[in-house]
Amino acid sequence: MLLLTCPCCGLSVEETELAPGGEAHLKRVGPDGSDTSFEQYLFKRENRKGVHFERWRHAYGCGKWFLAARDTATLEVFGTYPAQTTEPPAEIRMKIEKGSRG
């Protein structure tokens, strides 16, 4: 069972308490964006085999969205962080680098 720590309420919770929300850090294009960039935003997921940044919601808890870094090939979780970020924080990046070196 996947365990994630909700950065909003601080609880370590099981997957059944969470709702998955897909890839994180998607950039939504503005009104003058091209069809291709809008397609990218809507459908073309990275679907990475390896480190994946993704959205989760603590649905049966505090109800808040948060983000997680997880390896889709090993199921290793590198950590969770608040949703109010446009890119993974330095601390998470360090953990990932350390993990992939090990």
Partner 1 sequence: MRRFSAFAIAREAFRNHEGWGRTWAKRPPGKRYDVVIVGAGGHGLATAYYLGKNYGITNVAILEKGWLGGGNTGRNTTIIRSNYLQDPSAALYEKARSLYETLSQDLNYNVMFSPRGVIMLAQTHHEVRGYKRTVHANALQGVTTEWIGPQRVKELCPIMNIDGPRYPVLGGLWQARGGTARHDAVAWGYARACTDMGMDIIQKCEVTGVRTEGGRVAGVDTTQGAIDCDKLGIVVAGHSSVLAEKAGFRLPLESVALQALVSEPIKPCMDVVVMANTVHGYMSQSDKGEMVVGGGTDGFVNYTQRGSFHHIEETLRALVETFPMISRLRMLRQWGGIVDVTGDRSPILSKTPVKGVFVNCGWGTGGFKAIPGSGFAMAELMAKGYSPLTAEFGMERFREGRFIDESVAAGVAH
Among 9, 63, 74, 87, binds partner 1 (CB under 8 A): 74
Among 25, 27, 41, 46, binds partner 1 (CB under 8 A): 46
Nearest of 3, 26, 2, 10 to residue 61 by alpha carbon: 10
CA–CA distances in Å: residue 80 to residues 33, 40, 41, 57, 68: 31, 25, 23, 11, 4
Among 3, 9, 27, 44, binds partner 1 (CB under 8 A): 44
In degrees and rounded to multiples of 5, residue 98 shows phi and psi of: -60, -45
Q: Which is nearer to partner 1, 72 or 100 (CB)?
A: 72
Residues of this chain that interact with partner 1 (CB under 8 A) are: 1-2, 15-16, 19-20, 22-23, 35-36, 39-40, 42-49, 52, 54, 70, 72-75
